[in-house]
Every structure is written in C-alpha cells, then in structure tokens.
Amino acid sequence: MRPNKQEIIDMLSVRGEGELNALFARAYEVKKKYVGTTVYFRGLIEISNICSKNCYYCGIRSENPNFPRYSISMDEALQEAKWAFDQRYGSLVIQAGERIDTQWTDFIAELVRKIKEMSSGKLGITLSLGEQTEETYQKWFDAGAHRYLLRVETTNRELYKKLHPADHRFEDRLLSLERLRKVGYQTGTGVMVGLPGQSIEDIADDILFFYDQDVDMLGMGPYIPHQDTPLNHLVEAFDPTEAFTLGLKLIAACRIALKDVNIAASTALQALHPQGRERGLLAGANVLMPNITDTKYREGYQLYEGKPGINENAAQVVQELQRSIESIGETVGFDQWGDPKHFFRRQGQ
Ligand code: 5AD
Ligand code: SF4
C-alpha cells in the first residue's frame, strides 16, 4: 500500500528524545520483521575524483580547482578489492565522479571483469558512477556488476534546478534510473536532507517517490556544506546535531514506509557523529559501506566538510566494526551479497 504522506510528515517532524526513540524503535521492529538484523558490508572504493559535473553542493565539482584530481590504477583498485575479499566482505561499491568517455567506461568494464575473476565470481559489485547511456550500463552489467546507485538528490524540481547548473536535468536522472532497471540492475537511489530551501513536505515526497519508483536500495544522508562551493555561506550556520537527527529520522521513515529495501547508513552520518553508523543501524539501516580506498587518496574525495578520512583498510578496523555491531545485538553478513529482499519481491520470486 502506498504510504500516507501525512504519516511520513509526522514521522519526520518528531522532536524530543522520548518521541525520537519511539520512532527509531518502531523502525527497528519493521527492520527485524522484513530484513532481519544482519548487517552487510560493502567495501567502498572511491576510484577517481574526476567529475565532469558541477553540482553546487559538492566539494569535488569540476569547477573546484583547490585540490589535485586522481584516478586509481587498475592494479591498485584490484589490490583494494582483493583486500576486501580477504576480509570476507560480500560486496564492493565502486564510486567516482561522472565521466562518460569510452576510455573510462572501458576501464570500469575491465576492472569489474578482473574483480569477478579474482574472486571466482564471489564478490558482488555495486557501481555508483553517475548518468550513463543504456549501452554503458549494459556493458558494465555484462562485465559482472549487478547493483547500481544513482541518487536523485531531491525530487523537488525547483530545488534541483537551484542546486545544479542548467544542463544537469532531473529528467535525465529519471531516464538513467529507468535504463538501469531495464538492463536488470538492483537499483538504488537516494536524496540529501537539510538542503537549503527544502521542506519536510519535500522529503515526504522524496519517500513517496522511492515507493513509486519501486527502488531496491537507498543511500541517503544529511547535506553538509563545503567551503569551496557556491553554497559556502551555509557553512557557518550549519548545525551538525540537527542534520544528524534529520538523517536518522529519514532512515526510520524510509524503513517504516518501504519495509524490505536495503538502506545504507551513509558516511555523512558518521561524519557528524562518532557512532553515526551504529545509530543508523538502530534507526533502520542494514548496510554499511566501510571506505577501503587507500588513505593517500582520501584528501581528494572531500564531497563535504569533515568527511571521515579514517583508515578502514586495516583488519583491526574490521574487527572493531564487527565488535561494535555485535554490541548492539546484530551480526555481520560476512561472505554474503546481502541482496535487497525487495528486488526479489519485485521480480515475483
Ligand atoms: N553533503 C552531503 N552529501 C553530498 N554529496 C555531494 N555533496 C555533498 C554534501 N555537501 C553526495 C551526493 C552525491 C553523493 C556522491 O555524495 O548525494 O550523490
Ligand atoms: Fe560530480 Fe557527483 Fe559531485 Fe555532482 S555530486 S559534482 S556528479 S561527484
């Protein structure tokens, strides 16, 4: 049944510790019932910070000259993937800025093939590489990728226009999501919350959009202003506690409204609170994306201010993360893909 908009607005408007905890507890019950309490790890490789787009909120937009651009080599990326495989991560996420040239799209296809080969087909691969043609999506799918994340950022068309240059069109995002589904990917999207000029009603519409689009996965998070962007005037008044709470409410409302989708506790949550990810799990998320990019590249991937650069490519960190997950009564789904249950329901399986 299509979720009720007023109910979503009410959830997103909750204030005060008691009411917030009641909302998170309710979302947790829904999570237990529909997806269980196993957490899936996706090792995140931020493979390049080169981007042809210029989104006004993003620290790595093309017109920010204040940091060097990098692309990780095939061998290095394979080493990172191998490390994740050895740590018994079920899947990887390969993320980068948007590039549509053939040199790049071929490189990605080759990398996906090699990762599949290295892991005897065992590592699941999610891509997050922006808007592409159907041919490119198909090429990557044929190489072995089976999930794709493409956030729409906001479904308020006017707000989308204000946050992007004129040639970044919301309709193109929708078209890409359609292509992804057509090719056969498990498809994920998401939005940012706390954007300038965004209302609670807008966010409720975002959640209804996820429902109407029948998405399998969600990666969402609070917007965090960045100094080197046209929106830098927002840095000073930014309230991390408020942004964090809104991020958690969004996860809870999505879990309650959408039930069997996979929801990631985003890195942006962790940037705002040391226990951000665990709190995300307790509010309804069931996926974590530990960053396994070699730390020497981290400085270059500052989408927002204060993005955690901690070294998660150490076996000790995996153990610590496992321990903290077990301390909240959950288990880690080592060696499992952890595909979204929603995808199989959508396929009628
Ligand atoms: N704060 C939070 N998230 C951001 N992203 C980009 N810039 C910011 C920011 N300032 C997110 C966008 C994009 C993803 C890769 O990072 O949602 O889709
Ligand atoms: Fe590029 Fe994505 Fe940043 Fe936009 S949000 S500038 S597409 S990396």
- pLDDT tens for residues 196-217? 999 999 999 999 999 999 999 9
Atom of ligand 2 nearest to the CA of 51: 1
Kindly report, residue by residue over 285-314, the tens digit of the pLDDT: 999 999 888 888 877 888 887 777 656 667
Ligand having the closest approach to the CA of 93: 1
Which pLDDT score is estimated for 311? 62
Tell me the sheet residues that pair with 39: 332
Following DSSP, what letter does each residue of 210-227 receive, concatenated? HHHHT-SEEEEEE----T
The predicted structure's pLDDT at residue 226: 95
Distance CA 156, CA 27 (A): 25
272 token code pair: 């705002």
- CATH 3.20.20.70 describes domain 5-346: yes
- At 109-140, the pLDDT tens digits run 999 999 999 999 999 999 999 999 999 999 99
- Helical H segments across 151-275, by residue range: 157-163, 170-183, 200-213, 240-258, 267-272
Ligand 1 pocket mutation, candidates 44, 148, 301, 303, criterion most atoms within 8 A of CB: 303
- Please write down the long-range contacts of 276-280, taking CB distance under 8 Å and 24 or more positions apart: 276/244, 278/324, 278/325, 278/328, 279/244, 279/248, 280/247, 280/248, 280/251
| 8 Å CB contact between 142 and 116 | no
In this structure, how many other beta carbons lie within 10 angstroms of the beta carbon of residue 118?
15
DSSP 2: P
| Burial of 315 (C-beta count, 10 Å sphere; 0-12/13-18/19+) | exposed
Name the burial class of residue 68, with classes exposed (0-12), middle (13-18) and buried (19+) by CB atoms within 10 angstroms of its CB: exposed
- Which residues of the chain have a pLDDT value below 70? 309-313, 349
Ligand nearest to the CA of 52: 2
pTM, whole model, 2 decimals? 0.95
| Best residue for ligand 1 mutational test, from 51, 54, 58 (most atoms within 8 Å of Cβ) | 58
Q: CA nearest 254: which of 199, 197, 303, 216?
A: 216
Cα–ligand 2 centroid distance for 129 (angstroms): 9
